[in-house]
């Protein structure tokens, strides 16, 4: 796995904007490859809203949280495989063909999901899309990095990150747009096929990465592309730099397992790899992808029953994630990587604790089930078979037979009815009453939304982007690819664990217990990063190597 996160400053972004009229060819290269980032972001965000309507159409999915988790997490599982296969394809067949393959996988997966007659087919489509996500997540920034001028490379690669968060925000808007269209979730998931087609067509008209061509001894083709990218007075220097870089790379062609063993066997590299993996795992264990994948569901857990309302309010989380990414670009080279992560984790711990407290208070003040509702002849056949007198809404939703709570028509906090789903839900909605299957009505919903928004705003500028930057800086050049790849795999696996377990955790521990658990993980992450992760901003690797060798905590704190 090559490449990595490139830092960008204001000057780079200004020069990047000037490409619109000075070097449109470079901008076309970056934009075409960057659509992969947009697709990556769209697919990770769209499932959060589509899942609400998949539950409505397939009642077995609504009854079994493990099926909901599987529909979400299979894309992550596919992405782990896609990233591994993508690394091999990048080296064997080139960056351009890898992006084209990712587009085909995106398109096939989108079509499979759009026409799926059964939830198992949706899962199959999610695996295809996940393969494309994994391939695009490493290939798009790599292609942009290798096909852009060095002086603005950071800005162009950073734009890929912006397109990812932009794709997530776009997915929430599209989810909201299709709420009243027949087929709802099919349109939401199928739309991903359109940008995949656009990128496929654009990439057919673009060249291969000059670095890959040079490595494959197609030097004349590589030089022709470089002459289109760089001004005439810079071309010869860039060709010379590329030649030296490829020669150095070819001199160290040990097998992947040999390089992995060598990395873990070197004490200094091992300490750097430990720090890099801690950052990547911590990024996921704070619970961010539970929020991104299940955002509308979390809003429903907070007491908002309507699917449309849940998706509209979820726009806040996606929008703030994009804002936080921009803020990170402003502060990461001023404050420092380590300080920004620790400040980010401080806010994360605070607001996850707030969310846990809010959900606990909401559960404690849950409206009761009206005894007369269960006894009324009109509704007797709808009553939850496990109903026991003195239940409240929380007791109703925890029933093993998957019952729901029908709110009072007079006031949302007044006693309601506990009915079996799905027939109870249909009757409840026909009577114009709110039907709750995830969370209970409460007056704490807006406090939960505030905590969720504050959590995102604390996460995005620090833990959202900095772990990737640290991993691009903390390893010696000769180990950067293999160590960055191992840390990225840890990130994806942690992502899979969180996405596959979140709903089960909310059932086993309750919403409050789940957020308190994430709060505990975040506190542990704060301690581990304090102890094992040095500051890397502006530190030459030779000096960083000395710090890692000594393990001097005092020096890390003073930076």
Give me the phi and psi of 401, to 5 degrees please. -90, 10
Question: Of 186, 206, 226, which marks where a domain is finished?
Answer: 206
Question: Of 440, 475, 502, which marks where a domain is finished?
Answer: 440
Give mean pLDDT, residues 240-264.
74
**Mean pLDDT score of the chain:** 83
DSSP character at residue 45: H
pLDDT for 559 equals 43
Give mean pLDDT, residues 145-164.
70
Assess whether 163 and 288 both reside in one domain.
no
DSSP character at residue 6: P
8 belongs to a structural domain: no
Domain that holds residue 310: 262-365+442-553
Residue 555: pLDDT band with limits 50, 70, 90:
very low
Assess whether 303 and 396 both reside in one domain.
no
399 belongs to a structural domain: yes
Assess whether 331 and 310 both reside in one domain.
yes
246 belongs to a structural domain: no
- Give yes or no for residue 5 having a pLDDT over 50: no
Q: Among residues 555, 554, 537, 115, which one has the least CA distance to residue 340? A: 537
Assess whether 58 and 201 both reside in one domain.
yes
243 belongs to a structural domain: no
Give mean pLDDT, residues 492-497.
91
- Give yes or no for residue 294 having a pLDDT over 90: no
Assess whether 349 and 471 both reside in one domain.
yes
Assess whether 131 and 276 both reside in one domain.
no
The 10s digit of each residue's pLDDT in 120-134 is 999 999 999 999 988
29 belongs to a structural domain: yes
Assess whether 70 and 154 both reside in one domain.
yes
Give mean pLDDT, residues 358-365.
89
Assess whether 303 and 416 both reside in one domain.
no
Query: Which 3 state secondary structure label does DSSP give 418?
Result: strand
Assess whether 482 and 339 both reside in one domain.
yes
Domain count, the chain: 3
CB atoms within 10 A of CB 540: 8
228 belongs to a structural domain: no
- Give yes or no for residue 424 having a pLDDT over 80: yes
- Give yes or no for residue 157 having a pLDDT over 70: no
HSE of 365, CA atoms in CB hemisphere, 13 A? 15
Burial annotation 182-220 (CB, 10 A radius, 16+ → b, else e): eebbbbbbbbbbebbeebbebbeebbbbbbbbbbeeebe
pLDDT for 406 equals 92
The token pair at 347 is 């806010």
- Give yes or no for residue 320 having a pLDDT over 80: yes
Intra-chain end-to-end CA distance of the chain, in Å: 30
The 10s digit of each residue's pLDDT in 179-228 is 888 889 999 999 989 989 999 999 998 888 888 888 888 888 888 888 88
pLDDT for 102 equals 92
Assess whether 499 and 430 both reside in one domain.
no
330 belongs to a structural domain: yes
The 10s digit of each residue's pLDDT in 77-112 is 998 898 888 878 887 888 899 999 999 999 999 999
Q: Among residues 549, 467, 538, which one has the least CA distance to residue 269? A: 549
254 belongs to a structural domain: no
Cβ-defined contacts of 21-30 (< 8 Å, 24+): 23/149, 23/229, 25/228, 25/229, 26/147, 26/148, 26/149, 26/156, 26/229, 28/202, 28/206, 29/143, 29/144, 29/147, 29/148, 29/206, 29/229, 30/144, 30/147, 30/148, 30/156, 30/159
Listed range (30-34, 61-65, 152-156, 195-199) with the worst mean pLDDT = 152-156
Is the pLDDT higher at 34 or at 533?
A: 533
pLDDT for 557 equals 40
- Contact, 318 vs 329, CB < 8 A? no
Residue 551: its H or E element: none
Assess whether 149 and 38 both reside in one domain.
yes
Question: Of 206, 221, 250, which marks where a domain is finished?
Answer: 206
- Give yes or no for residue 550 having a pLDDT over 80: no
Range among 74-88, 220-234, 308-322, 450-464 rated most confident: 450-464
Residue 255: pLDDT band with limits 50, 70, 90:
low
Is the pLDDT higher at 25 or at 389?
A: 389
Edge-first strand listing for the sheet containing 435-436 = 417-420, 403-406, 435-436
Q: DSSP letters along 209-244, please? A: PHHHHHHTT-HHHHHHHHHHHS-HHHHHHHHHHHHH
Q: CA torsion 151→154→160→161, rounded to 10°?
A: -160
Give the CATH number, domain containing residue 179.
1.20.1250.20
Assess whether 388 and 342 both reside in one domain.
no
- pTM of this structure: 0.81
Q: Among residues 455, 465, 457, 462, which one has the least CA distance to residue 164? A: 465
Q: What percent of the chain has pLDDT over 90?
A: 26
Displacement of CA 61 from its chain's centroid (Å): 23
Give me the phi and psi of 221, to 5 degrees please. -60, -45
Residue 277: pLDDT band with limits 50, 70, 90:
very high
User: Which residue blocks in 367-444 are alpha helix, DSSP H?
Assistant: 371-375, 393-397, 423-430
The 10s digit of each residue's pLDDT in 50-72 is 998 998 889 888 888 899 999 99
Give me the phi and psi of 383, to 5 degrees please. -60, 135
């Amino acid at each position: 796995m090559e490449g990595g996160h490139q830092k960008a400053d204001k000057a780079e972004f200004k020069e990047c904007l000037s490409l619109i009229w000075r070097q449109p060819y470079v901008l076309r290269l970056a934009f075409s490859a960057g659509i992969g980032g947009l697709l990556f972001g769209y697919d990770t965000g769209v499932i959060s809203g589509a899942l609400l309507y998949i539950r409505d159409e397939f009642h077995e999915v609504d009854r079994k949280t493990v099926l909901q988790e599987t529909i979400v997490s299979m894309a992550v599982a596919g992405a782990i495989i896609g990233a591994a296969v993508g690394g091999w394809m990048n080296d064997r067949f080139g960056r351009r063909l890898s992006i084209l393959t990712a587009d085909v996988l995106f398109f096939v997966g989108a079509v499979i999901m759009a026409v799926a007659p059964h939830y198992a087919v949706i899962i199959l489509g999610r695996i295809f899309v996940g393969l494309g996500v994994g391939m695009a997540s490493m290939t798009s920034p790599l292609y942009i990095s290798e096909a852009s001028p060095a002086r603005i490379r950071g800005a162009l690669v950073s734009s890929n990150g912006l397109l990812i968060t932009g794709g997530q925000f776009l997915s929430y808007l599209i989810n909201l747009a299709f709420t009243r269209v027949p087929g709802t979730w099919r349109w939401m998931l199928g739309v991903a096929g359109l940008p995949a087609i656009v990128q496929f067509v654009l990439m057919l008209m673009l060249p291969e990465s000059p670095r890959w061509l040079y490595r494959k001894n197609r030097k004349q083709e590589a030089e022709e592309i470089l002459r289109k990218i760089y001004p005439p007075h810079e071309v010869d220097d860039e060709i010379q730099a590329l030649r030296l870089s490829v020669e150095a790379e070819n001199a160290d062609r040990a097998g992947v397992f040999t390089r992995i063993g060598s990395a873990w066997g070197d004490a200094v590299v091992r300490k750097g790899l430990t720090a890099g993996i801690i950052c990547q795992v911590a990024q996921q264990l704070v619970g961010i992808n539970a929020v991104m994948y299940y955002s509308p569901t979390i809003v429903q857990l907070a007491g908002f029953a309507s699917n449309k309302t849940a998706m509209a309010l979820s726009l806040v989380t996606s929008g703030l994630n994009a804002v936080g990414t921009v803020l990170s670009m402003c502060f990461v080279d001023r404050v420092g990587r380590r300080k920004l992560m620790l400040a980010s984790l401080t806010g994360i711990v605070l607001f996850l604790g707030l969310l846990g407290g809010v959900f606990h208070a909401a559960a404690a003040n849950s409206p009761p089930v009206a005894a007369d509702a269960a006894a009324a002849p009109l509704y007797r056949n709808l009553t939850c078979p496990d109903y026991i007198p003195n239940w409240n809404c929380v007791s109703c939703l925890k029933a093993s037979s998957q019952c729901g709570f029908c709110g009072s028509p007079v006031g949302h906090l007044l006693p309601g009815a506990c009915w079996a789903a799905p027939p109870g839900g249909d009757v409840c909605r026909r009577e114009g009453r709110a039907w709750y299957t995830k969370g209970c009505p409460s007056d704490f919903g807006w406090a939960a939304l505030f905590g969720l928004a504050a959590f995102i705003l604390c996460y995005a500028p620090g833990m959202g982007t900095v772990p990737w930057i640290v991993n691009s800086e903390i390893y010696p050049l000769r180990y950067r690819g293999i160590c960055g790849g191992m840390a990225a795999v840890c990130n994806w696996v942690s992502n899979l664990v969180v996405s596959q377990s979140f709903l089960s955790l909310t059932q086993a521990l309750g919403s409050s217990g789940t957020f308190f658990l994430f709060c505990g993980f975040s506190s542990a992450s704060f301690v581990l990063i304090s102890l094992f992760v040095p500051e890397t901003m502006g530190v030459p690797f030779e000096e960083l190597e000395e710090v890692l060798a000594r393990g001097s905590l005092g020096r890390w704190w003073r930076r």
